[in-house]
Structure 1
């Protein structure tokens, strides 16, 4: 498909938040330009998007806020940015398509306003509505003409929920009612991560030369995760070291403050262990490992794509645990993406009271001792990797071009 049948080169506005959004945005710009050589791109952009040819009218850093303490003081600035974007996109420089990339708390509200003003809207990366807060589906349907999904089970989920809730996008005065569509494009990480760096190369790069198994321990990137998981993870490591002679440990830490807290847990519960703490480098740590212990999150998908066997353990506050597990807020049987994506979920998940040092150790022990036990997981991971490894940028560009050409029967 080419852009030759369009009357003029299209204009795309992209609104991205966080580093992952910048990477996705850059790939999308390149793919759209391949279909529409004269296209123009502008919006809220990071360095990768700017390098790809996007004119920045605001910095991606404006949306890169996480945590209540950071979000609250940023609210006036975010509201001002949203107002400025609505005016700019609807009146000053009206694009053919508005593309919101992740940052759902900001982008979905913006997209909803712009859609009501007659603009075509795309949202890239579905929020985890299939796991919890399914009522958010209504807001997504009202905000986006097209939702581009990174996981294969998401479009069928939306079709089921739209039928169950009898949802329809709001009608815009003077325009025909536009249908909502969710399309699967594959996951960009599946193309980015591969086995080009061997386990031995990763160990040498991290200074982990020598014999003995290596366990990568990833307790999460938030202070609350370190608070709830560090003691159990370190004590599990001590339990394992007694049973696996020569076992070494490596932990990537996202922030200096978290490093101090995790190091304190090691000093208190397992000072005798051979433990390497890294500044970041989570992928390198997983590549170097025979097995991985980690909190749930995107890191579990990275671990799958890197071909490393894992155990997932997670603890949160008592109220969060009650809401998710007892009150039924969590709507999925599993919490980790490898289990959600595998035909036969192979990863042990230990949540809340089940995440004891001994149970964590018992789940990891066969993965460290027995290559056949690791292979049970890896065989499932190979199938998932093959499903996710599509050219997400090209698939997204095709879907957006279909929207641009009114090929959905609006």
Structure 2
């Protein structure tokens, strides 16, 4: 069984790797080809392009990369038209993958889209593209299934694998020992995103907020886990440019460890807010996009939800303050961060609420996702 698969960023690499591992258990003869990251490569993916070449987000931001992205997609289509895979899985990255899926589906290849596009939040007209592109959507959050089903999109809710992998009771003591942090010092985690554009826009306000915190909190330790060589280099340069006085520890690929060790998290909106929830940590969420992108989104009324952080969408109450676009500046971020350091009852309440949310989300995601993929393949093989 040959599976074509495309993931575009570290969170997708992680999701895809779990699915690939389980598919290999249930169907040992399976092989994978396409685009992915280091975790997928370690499981035998035959990669045709570096995953980082697909990692871009936003309406305006994508324009500068559009020729390259179109060329990559055209190359994939040409290859798979010559030798069609038995099944294709697009992991997130809907602006890239949905067109690829539509083309392959038209040619008779069963298609799966893993992670529902956020049509319930913005750009709802994409639902028609999803229905045309995917034979099956694997949704990772419970509220997505009903929305997709109402619009005639075949969907299986499989849960998010991180909910199963993260412990219900985080071990802060061990995490700090592993990072060489004292158990009695305040720790702030900075997570400025996994994409280069995110780091470029968020590094300055996040670092300046951390530096201001350090001036008010004695012995504060600041730790930032970075996803790639590129983002680490960009963030390190920002440290030198904006806050050379800040004592900060930069680490690689240990987000869970850093979140578990932290007292408070300053985080970019995205998957990392979900991980901070799973670690039961109070968080302040910041985000910036290209100013023109923001004006288009707001001007056309494309955003349909009050909150953007997944932690706020999943918990019963929006417990993570959000500071978007012009509000994502140190003078706004700092009071919210300091409030969490100084309000123990509030932090304890957040811990309890996030624990309840975590418990409700635990599922055997990789097993369920692999089973759904293989069921689709068998059904189509028997047609």
TM-score in terms of structure 1 length: 0.78
1:108–1:229 distance in 2 versus 1, CA, 3 Å: closer
In the alignment, structure 1 residue 255 sits paired with structure 2 residue 244: no
1:323: Cα distance to partner?
2.7
1:280–1:259 distance in 2 versus 1, CA, 3 Å: farther
Q: Distance in 2 between matches of 1:50 and 1:364?
A: 38
1:78–1:284 distance in 2 versus 1, CA, 3 Å: same
Q: Distance in 1 between matches of 2:296 and 2:254?
A: 33
User: 1:175 matched to which residue of 2?
Assistant: none
* 1:17 and 1:101 in contact (8 A); partners too: yes
1:74: Cα distance to partner?
5.2
User: 2:279 matched to which residue of 1?
Assistant: 306
1:399–1:256 distance in 2 versus 1, CA, 3 Å: same
Select 1:84's aligned residue among 79, 86, 98. Answer: 79
Select 1:120's aligned residue among 99, 110, 118. Answer: 110
1:263–1:221 distance in 2 versus 1, CA, 3 Å: farther
SS of residue paired to 1:350: strand
Structure 1 runs not aligned, ≥5 long: 1-10, 168-179
SS of residue paired to 1:216: strand
User: 1:205 matched to which residue of 2?
Assistant: 178
User: 1:191 matched to which residue of 2?
Assistant: 164
SS of residue paired to 2:111: strand
User: 1:61 matched to which residue of 2?
Assistant: 50
User: 1:136 matched to which residue of 2?
Assistant: 126
1:208: Cα distance to partner?
2.6
Q: Distance in 2 between matches of 1:227 and 1:29?
A: 32
User: 2:209 matched to which residue of 1?
Assistant: 236
* 2:168 and 2:358 in contact (8 A); partners too: no
In the alignment, structure 1 residue 294 sits paired with structure 2 residue 263: no
Which one is further off, 215-224 or 258-267?
215-224
Select 2:241's aligned residue among 253, 264, 267. Answer: 264
SS of residue paired to 1:251: strand
Structure 2 runs not aligned, ≥5 long: 57-61
Q: Matched residue pairs, number?
A: 369
Q: Distance in 1 between matches of 2:30 and 2:207?
A: 52
In the alignment, structure 1 residue 148 sits paired with structure 2 residue 121: no
1:246–1:183 distance in 2 versus 1, CA, 3 Å: same
1:9-408 correspondence runs (5 A): 11-18=1-8, 19-32=10-23, 34-36=25-27, 40-44=30-34, 56=46, 58-59=47-48, 61=50, 64-67=53-56, 68=62, 72-73=67-68, 75-89=70-84, 95=86, 97-160=87-150, 162=151, 180-194=153-167, 198-209=171-182, 211-253=184-226, 254-267=231-244, 271=245, 273-279=246-252, 281-404=254-377, 406=379
Which one is further off, 39-48 or 284-293?
39-48
1:74–1:351 distance in 2 versus 1, CA, 3 Å: closer
SS of residue paired to 2:219: coil
- CA offset digits 1:377-398 (Å, max 9, x no partner): 2222112222332111211133
User: 1:5 matched to which residue of 2?
Assistant: none
SS of residue paired to 2:88: strand
1:102: Cα distance to partner?
3.0
Q: Distance in 2 between matches of 1:370 and 1:125?
A: 36
Structure index of larger Rg: 1
What's the RMSD between the two structures over aligned residues?
3.1
SS of residue paired to 1:209: coil
1:310: Cα distance to partner?
0.6
1:381–1:118 distance in 2 versus 1, CA, 3 Å: same
